Structure 1
Amino acid sequence: MGQQSWSFTDYFGTEHNFGIYHGEESGHLVCYLDNSIMHINFAIKDDYQFSFFMEEELLIFKIKKINESYEYSFELDKESQTPLNVKRKTEEKNNKYRIMIGIIIALLILKLLAYMIIRKLS
């Protein structure tokens, strides 16, 4: 039986636990989030995935069949257009602008200092 769990801290800093029980012979799948069953499916014997929200985070759970065994993955979806992902992208864009402005100001200060030193030496 495939059993696995992942700990995850959401955007707001709350820790969550996601886990699965997967009967590799029967294919029965039980997924739980923070000790509450959230998904049950039967006869999962091939590749499978499902998405769900935890708070405002969109998460994806995947099962990939490799030969006679299974590989499980649990990941955060940062690409889909969810309100939180839009907010993240806006924050990233604003941070890039702040960094660029900081670099430009630093370069201007260096240029001004160089000008003052050259003028003083002349």
Structure 2
Amino acid sequence: MAQLNWTYVSDTGRKYTVGIYHGPKTGHLLVYCNLRVVIIDFNVLESKTYPLFLDDELCELTIEKKDNQFRYGFDINRKADTPRNRIRKKVEKKHWRQTLLFFGAMGICVAVFTAFFLHFGARQNSQKREALLAGFGQETTAHIDELAPTEEGTLIRFSFVADGKVKEAELAYPSDTPIVLDNGMPLNTADEFRLRYVINRPEIW
């Protein structure tokens, strides 16, 4: 005869000992809880499940027949529509909402700090570039080689002579409208303009 028992402790701290006696040949079944008989059944020779409420928690005692042998289990049913499970779902939903709000707030904070540091870094680089151009800059004439349209606007490709060598560079213009100069004329290929670059570092202009 199979004899097993399980211990369940409720949220209130109350302890329950659930045990079974089951005859695999006769099928006679006895289930007790804290030494009190709660279920008696006969001819249990196939898989079967017995519901059992401990406080307001729905538990299930399962008898599973497999390969001519019986296996026994004791589990909490967290999916059935019971008052306890409804409360549990509300609490879980609240926790999920709090978790989402927490990570949402964290994401916003990370985005704000990232934007701040990117802006700060860009500003620092711009100030460094301006200082280099002011202290070590040299003017030259640049030549417009191509005005290439892009999805974002226009890519201005130009070249200039620095340190005795021809350097090529490009500048993105974030608009597809024609580029109008201060004299009212549109910018065209082969136009020239004055460019200031850093001596020995012509990539900075």
SS in 1 for 2:49: strand
Map of 1:89-100 to 2, 5 A cutoff? 89-100=89-100
Correspondence 1:96-107 to 2 at 5 A: 96-107=96-107
- Aligned partners of 1:78 and 1:115: how far apart in 2? 45
Q: Deviations over 1:58-108 (max 9, x none)?
A: 111111222432111111111111000001111111111101100111111
Instruction: Evaluate the alpha carbon distance shift between residue 116 and residue 33 of structure 1 in structure 2; reply closer, same or farther with a 3 A threshold.
Output: same
The residue that corresponds to 1:118 in the other structure is 118
Letter in 2 for 1:51: P
What does residue 131 of structure 2 align with?
none
Question: Contact 1:3–1:19 at 8 Å: present in 2 too?
Answer: yes
Which ranges of structure 1 fall in alignment gaps of 5 or more residues?
Answer: none
More off after superposition, 27-36 vs 94-103: 27-36
Q: Are the aligned partners of 1:11 and 1:57 in contact in 2 as well (CA < 8 Å)?
A: no
**CA deviation string 1:37-70 (max 9, x = no partner):** 1111122222222112110011111112224321
Q: How does 1:33-72 map to 2 (within 5 A)?
A: 33-72=33-72
Identity %: 24
Give SS of 2:120's match.
Answer: helix
Relative contact order (C-alpha < 8 Å, sep 6+): which is higher? Answer: 1
Q: What TM-score results when the alignment is normalised by the length of structure 2?
A: 0.55
* 3-state secondary structure, aligned to 1:59: strand
Q: Give the TM-score of the pair, scaled to structure 1.
A: 0.88
The runs of 4+ residues in structure 1 deviating greater than 6 Å are: none
Q: Aligned pair 1:80/2:80, yes or no?
A: yes
Structure 2 segments unaligned to the other structure (5+ residues): 124-205
Aligned to 2:174: none
Structure of higher CA gyration radius: 2
Q: Do the aligned residues in 2 keep the contact of 1:29 with 1:42 (CA within 8 Å)?
A: yes
Q: Is the 8 A contact 1:28 1:44 kept in 2?
A: yes
| Structure with a larger share of its residues in helix | 1
- In 2: Cα distance, 1:107 partner to 1:120 partner: 20
